[in-house]
Structure 1
Amino acid sequence: MDDADRREAYLRLGELYLENKNGMEARRCFRQALEGRLSTSEVAQAEYGIGRAYLLDSRPGLATTHLTAGIHGATGPGAEECRYLLAVCEGETLPATPELLQRVQPYLPDEGMVAAYAGSGMLGFLDVSRASWRAKPLRQNHEPMGPPTRITVHHSAEPLTSRKLSESRKEVLRIQSIHQDDKHWADIGYHFLIDPAGRIFEGRPVEIQGAHAGNKATNRGNIGICLLGNFKGQPDRGPEYAIEQKPTSTQLASLGKLTNSLRATYRIPKDQVFHHGEFRQTECPGWRLRGWIRNYRAGIKPN
């Protein structure tokens, strides 16, 4: 067997080990291939293979360098896959077709990551499942929701400017921890959350009554939607909180999509869409979202 045949054999064997989810042996074969004289496309294939092998072993930090190297010289579907997986490792998002998601699914850092990309159509109007943001289990002190009859919009009142998926996941998990550990609630109080990139997170199951509007009476049949960000200045909490953020255009677009979908699913009238301040004395969710809700109920489309 000459050098060319040996290199080709190692590359093929590496792919076979990937198919069988053996990351260690796959890396060994691809590294053996790299010891020979490879073409640019073969180097890209080997580096991309090592990157995928690390992802199989849930080691995205080690995969990043090899995925970056794999992009150079890669062509066709492999280049598309490599760019997508690198973006996932770096906490970014790229548009993806269902076909692309199916090809890269075995290598994603966690089982729910596929659901983190809008437009895939895999989870309806959801973009990020509870499994994806690693939600802690629902506790026993909850009540059934009953038929949803209204929707209430909130802001998290916590500064968040990053559009990285990794930061949004951390923030949603942090909110859940506060609600469960400090407030002793059964789960995160909201049924859905929307991050600055417009991704819709699955919160408390809709079948479970929320903890967001003020009390049991106002929470009954009330779906809670929270936009991540601080949309009302709170100087008493420090300089970071004094800065009043604006909901991003993608957040508002997702809010409209989610609200329309929920209303259609549960036959909720348009005049049953509220902001938090309509149930209790609070400045939540800030004047911009209050204006958005007034316009939504009036049928006025955003500019």
Structure 2
Amino acid sequence: MHLVTRANWGAKPPRFPLVQIASTRGVKVHYEGAPVPADLAKPENHSKCAGRVRAIQADHLANRKENYSDIAYSFVVCPHGHVFEGRGLHKLQAANGNHQLNVNHYSVCGMVGDSGLTQPTDAQLDGIRDAIDLLREKGGAGAEIKGHRDGFATMCPGDPLEAWVKKGAPRPVAA
């Protein structure tokens, strides 16, 4: 696993303390739901991924309607398979749509969007599985793996990620 800690990607501190949780039923998979540049997946553009996570956090902190205290996701995974720590382990996240849905599942966001880069890379799918496995092993996540749209009216996580989740979120087969 290529874990990028909050300190390493330059996270701002939460606006107020995050709620501690012991466990969840599982994990919900998300996407950005906005355009993601298609060329972000090029190996030479990995240096842009930390800035993209900072931008996601800045957008969430600026959203006073939702009143996010921090980036909403537990983890964010870039197209190169690096797992960026969001709220992290044992923290109530805020991405699933309402309080009960947030209590029930952690959230992992694949850095793909509704245009541009819409198809997750194999490295990214592997990274999402790494994040799910970490949440299970050290965060008390249960066996459920669902898409954000499972239980909440949204297009998230997009059709490609939703199809992958429906197949059981398998690790890509090495070529």
**TM-score of the two chains, using structure 1 as the length reference:** 0.50
Checking the alignment, whether the CA contact within 8 Å between 1:277 and 1:283 is kept in structure 2 is: yes
| 1:254 counterpart residue number | 127
CA distance in 2, matches of 1:205, 1:265: 10
1:163-191 CA-to-partner distances (Å, cap 9, x unmatched) read: 43331111100110111112431000001
Matches within 5 A, 1:155-170: 155-158=31-34, 159-160=36-37, 161-162=39-40, 163=43, 164-170=45-51
CA distance in 2, matches of 1:155, 1:133: 19
Residues 1:144 and 1:269: Cα distance change in structure 2 (over 3 Å): closer
Bigger radius of gyration among the two = 1
CA distance in 2, matches of 1:141, 1:181: 17
Checking the alignment, whether the CA contact within 8 Å between 1:134 and 1:173 is kept in structure 2 is: yes
Residues 1:258 and 1:207: Cα distance change in structure 2 (over 3 Å): closer
3-state DSSP of counterpart to 1:149: strand
| 1:192 counterpart residue number | 75
Structure with more helix by fraction:
1
Q: Percent identity?
A: 27
Q: Which residue of 205, 208, 212 maps to 2:95?
A: 212
Query: Which structure 1 segments of 5+ residues have no match?
Result: 1-124, 233-240
| 1:57 counterpart residue number | none
| 2:59 counterpart residue number | 178
Instruction: State the AA in 2 paired with 1:172.
Output: V
Matches within 5 A, 1:13-162: 125=1, 127-140=3-16, 142-158=18-34, 159-160=36-37, 161-162=39-40
Q: C-alpha root-mean-square deviation of aligned residues, in Å?
A: 2.2
Higher alpha-carbon deviation: 158-167 or 207-216: 158-167
3-state DSSP of counterpart to 2:4: coil
1:75-130 CA-to-partner distances (Å, cap 9, x unmatched) read: xxxxxxxxxxxxxxxxxxxxxxxxxxxxxxxxxxxxxxxxxxxxxxxxxx452111
| 1:263 counterpart residue number | 136
Structure with more strand by fraction:
2
Give the deviation of 1:142 after TM superposition: 3.8
Checking the alignment, whether the CA contact within 8 Å between 1:194 and 1:200 is kept in structure 2 is: yes
Residues 1:246 and 1:133: Cα distance change in structure 2 (over 3 Å): same
The answer to which structure, 1 or 2, has the higher relative contact order (CA under 8 A, 6+ apart) is 2
The count of aligned residue pairs is 166
3-state DSSP of counterpart to 1:151: strand
Give the deviation of 1:267 after TM superposition: 5.3
